[in-house]
A and B are shown apart, each in its own frame.
Chain A
Amino acid sequence: MPFDAMEDLPDDALLARFAEGDAMAARLLTLRLTPRVMAHAYRLLGNRTEAEDVAQEALLRLWRQAPDWRPGEAKVSTWLYRVVANLCIDRRRRARGGSVPLDAIPEPADGQASAADRMQDRARADALQSALNQLPERQRQAVVLRHIEGLANPEIADIMDVTVEAVESLTSRGKRALSALLAGRQEELGYADER
């Protein structure tokens, strides 16, 4: 099958080809899934090096699961979100602390307008990450899945193994905590402009 046609295949179909020994499927899945998994791990951990280790481990588990994967039974992305969350929780329990305080976030540098806008956007992302690092694990996971990954509450409930109502409660409390944590920086990060 040509590369372009394979690019359109869903994750589980590529995983089936991977299990059959298709080298192209291995490359496509690596390029498709690594950024997603790495980004999710980083948002849960707030540490790049650890997020990369978690991403590698989560994907290694996926490769090993490939021969036994049943297409259509579970979404690959859902399975990966669950594995990443478990690996992140294990790591955070092993090594408590390490979150970056809000004061440690680099300040936006003075410069040209477009560069300043980009810096501000970047600074907002960094500020959010630092605030996320301070949330309890379950609230952080729920907020990230809902408002950054954009998943629906039932899928989040499946990933987190809780009820939809529990997801709503976790995201609600998480957002309140984030608002409180970011309130002090609203002026410098252009927070007030977006209201």
Chain B
Amino acid sequence: MPMSDKDQDLGGLGAFFDAARAHPPAPSPDLLARVLGDAEAEQIWITRRAQPAAEAPRAGLLEQLYRLLGGWPAMAGLTTAIVAGVWIGTALPEGVSGSTEAAYLVDITPEAVFELAGDF
């Protein structure tokens, strides 16, 4: 609680301090709106952040793996790499099946090659 400076040894400054307390700079309506906007936005963020913490144990293994890997961008990259790997492994281009290169290839799924051979 602001004290009165009248009785204190302020060397005549008491009147100035009293005047300053009597005329505080009031916040503009715009400032109040900005502060309240911040408060409401932060409150939404705080309550949202609190909810996943409570629901975390219920998240499935796939969901946890999805979060661990970094969400959809990482999953998209991973999916592309898997598809490309399967395609490269199963659809052997003409040039690779030559006599020299073929000696270095290890075919781990010979049945798949026979099944797919008719399509090429």
Contacts and interface: CB of A to CB of B under 8 A. Distances in A.
Contacts of B83: none
A44 to B, nearest CB: 12
Contact of B43 (A26, A121, A148, A182): A26
B63 to A, nearest CB: 24
Interface residues of B, number: 37
A150 B31 contact: no
B22 interface: yes
A184 to B, nearest CB: 13
Interface string B11-36: 11111110111111111101110111
A26 B36 contact: yes
B46 interface: yes
Contacts of B22: 121, 125
A38 B38 contact: no
Contact of B27 (A20, A38, A128, A175): A38
A42 interface: yes
A149 B2 contact: yes
A190 B15 contact: yes
A141 to B, nearest CB: 14
Contacts, number: 122
Contacts of A18: 39, 43
Contact of A125 (B2, B14, B23): B23
Interface residues of A, number: 50
B3 interface: yes
Interface string B39-62: 110110011011000000000000
Given A26-B43, A128-B17, A39 B25 contact: yes
A140 to B, nearest CB: 12
Interface stretch (A2-10, A61-69, A91-99): A61-69
B25 A147 contact: no
Given A34-B32, A175-B11, A179-B13, A128 B38 contact: no
Interface of B: 1-3, 5, 10-17, 19-28, 30-32, 34-36, 38-40, 42-43, 46-47, 49-50
Top 5 nearest A-B pairs by Cβ distance?
Answer: A150-B2, A194-B15, A124-B19, A63-B42, A128-B16
28 contacts: A30-B32, A30-B35, A30-B36, A30-B39, A51-B25, A55-B35, A56-B35, A59-B38, A60-B38, A63-B38, A63-B42, A64-B42, A122-B23, A124-B16, A124-B20, A125-B19, A147-B10, A148-B17, A149-B2, A150-B2, A175-B10, A175-B11, A179-B13, A190-B15, A192-B12, A194-B12, A194-B14, A194-B15
